[in-house]
Structure formats: structure tokens, C-alpha cells
Amino acid sequence: MADGPAVAIDGLRKDYGGLAAVNGVSLTIERGSFFGLLGPNGAGKTTLISILGGLTLPSAGTASIMGHDVVADAMAARRRIGIVPQEIVFDSFFTTRQYLRQQASYYGIYDNEDWIDTLLDRLGLADKANVNTRKLSGGMKRRMMVGMALVHRPPVVVLDEPTAGVDVSQRRSLWEFIQQLNSEGTTVILTTHYLEEAEEFCERIVMLDHGRVIADKLTADLLSSGQHHAHSLYFRLPDGAAPPAELFAPAQAKGPDSQGRFHIDFADNAELEDLLRRINASGLPCRGLEIAAPDLEDVFVELTRQP
């Protein structure tokens, strides 16, 4: 196996006419990491993944998988990566087991029935092994796509919206399996609109917007950096009531949200104490006071907000 990081990208660019879908992206993903690749629709994530998977040729720059260039050494690179695409892309002609066998055969693997059994079990598809895939639910098809990406045991796995349409209980068991693979050395690259999943599982996150990297930090550092360090004090008021604008001046309380809560941001304990003192002195009939730490959604919205 070649030396080097799991994924190395340098000055990568992909042009479609006058549009740069990926615009000078450079990043390194270390082996065995759990990595988040996030961004709004149209940010360039799918194009970047397509280049890593050998489905799209870059216009400029380089990308390698486990030291193998995705263009110059394409076959070796493809053997070392498994991609779960956002779309369900297979025809319903075979059973679940037959599809996994067929996928393995593309890599010259014909003797991995034990691993296929493990995949079927861990993905909650053991009782569907001999069922034609046209009879699978959407969530089952999604889990089968995960199995197809893992069937050749690649050291790098890209999960593009892997839990879309998967029910809550199966979602948890899927993540337990992915975490186990990661603990055993598999590098996992996740792109998802479920930002709470990225926040929970990813050690490091890169955010793309308009084809460029706009953030590249450890998840903990991203949550605590810059404008995103603020915590929020949430409270409820009697129906129809609103906090007086002058109460929290110069800041303003925001809301109500979908749960009927107002909130105001604060940076440290001193500011919190001042907020609580003002509320107490005002006699405002607040109910259900809650303190919430910043989350990845706050950071995402702030960084990708249009000027």
C-alpha cells in the first residue's frame, strides 16, 4: 500500500463552461479519521466526490486516494474507495445478496460470502438477503447502497447522505457499524444535511461554498471560534406577549421560534448574569428558562449566509 494520507487534494478545479463547480480546493484527510464535508446545495460537494470516485475528470489540480492518483493511477485509486451516492442507482433485477456479489465481482472478489453475510446482518438486511430489490423500501435500498460501497472492504468510504429515508432505529445501528469500521482504521468521509450527525461523529469538518473551502477546522474548534462562540438564553412568555425592546438593549431578543421561545445570545457568564438580572428586575413573566450551547447549524448558517 502506498504511503501518504487517506486523501490528498491539491488545487483541484472542475469547470463546466464558465462555471467552476470546484474552484481551487486543497485539503488533506488523514488515515483513520472521521471527516465531514459540508456545504449548501450547489457548493461543489458532489462534484468533488465524483472526482475522488473517478466518475469525473478534474480540469486542474490533483487528487489521490491512499497515495494513488485518481487520474494517473485510476484503477488502484478506485479499489481503495467506496462511495455511497446520494441517489439510489441500481436496477431491480436481482436479490440483495446477488447485488452485493455482483458488486464484489467488479473488484475481482468472488470468495467473500462471510463478509456479505456480515454486511447483511449489520445493515439490517439479513431477512431480505434473497428478496428481489424491487420489493425493498426506500430506507432498505439506501442501506443496500451502503453495503455495495463496503463490499470490497475499501480503506476509504464516502457517505453522501447515507441516512436519508432511513428510520430512527436503523439509523442508529448503521452509525454503530460505521463507527466500528472507523475504529478499525477505515477513513470515513461524510456529507449530510443532518448537521447533528456531522457534529456528533466528525472529528474535523471542511465547509464548501461556491466551490471553495470556507472553513477547515476540528469540529470542537469550529464550534468555539469567531462569531460562533455565543450561547443562547431561551425563554417563553404568555401567549401574545413579547419582551420590551429596551430590556436587552443594545441586543435584541429574537423569536418566537416554532416552539414559542424567544432567545438572546450571550458570550460569557458575566453577560448571562446581567441578562438574568434584567429579567428579574423587569418582572417579565418568563417561563422555561434554558441555556443552549452553539451548534453546527449556527456555524453553517453564519458561514454560508449570502451577503
Q: Is 199 in the same domain as 235?
A: no
Q: Helices (H), strands (E): how many in the chain? A: 10, 13
Q: Is 140 in the same domain as 20?
A: yes
Q: Choose the final residue of a domain: 223, 242, 269.
A: 223
Does residue 2 form part of some domain?
no
* Tally of CB atoms within 10 A around 40: 17
Does residue 95 form part of some domain?
yes
Describe the chain by its helix, strand, coil percentages, rounded to 5. Answer: 35, 25, 40
Q: Is 177 in the same domain as 297?
A: no
Q: Is 146 in the same domain as 73?
A: yes
Q: Is 21 in the same domain as 154?
A: yes
Does residue 1 form part of some domain?
no
Q: Is 167 in the same domain as 208?
A: yes
Q: Which CATH number do you get for residue 276?
A: 3.30.70
Give the single-character DSSP code of 134: G
> What pTM was computed for the model?
0.81
Q: Which three cell numbers stand for residue 254?
A: 429574537
Q: Is 178 in the same domain as 229?
A: no
Range of the domain at 145: 7-223
pLDDT (0 to 100) of residue 185? 97
Tell me the pLDDT of the chain (307 aa) as tens digits. 456 899 999 999 999 998 999 999 999 999 999 999 999 989 999 999 999 999 999 999 999 999 999 999 999 999 999 999 988 877 778 999 999 999 999 999 999 999 999 999 999 999 999 999 999 998 999 999 999 999 999 999 999 989 888 888 889 999 999 999 999 999 999 998 888 899 899 999 999 999 999 999 998 888 776 555 567 888 999 887 888 888 888 778 888 887 888 888 887 788 889 989 988 898 888 888 888 777 777 777 777 775 5
Mean pLDDT of the chain: 90
CA dist list (Å): 145 to 49, 80, 170, 179, 252: 16, 17, 14, 17, 47
Q: Is 184 in the same domain as 270?
A: no
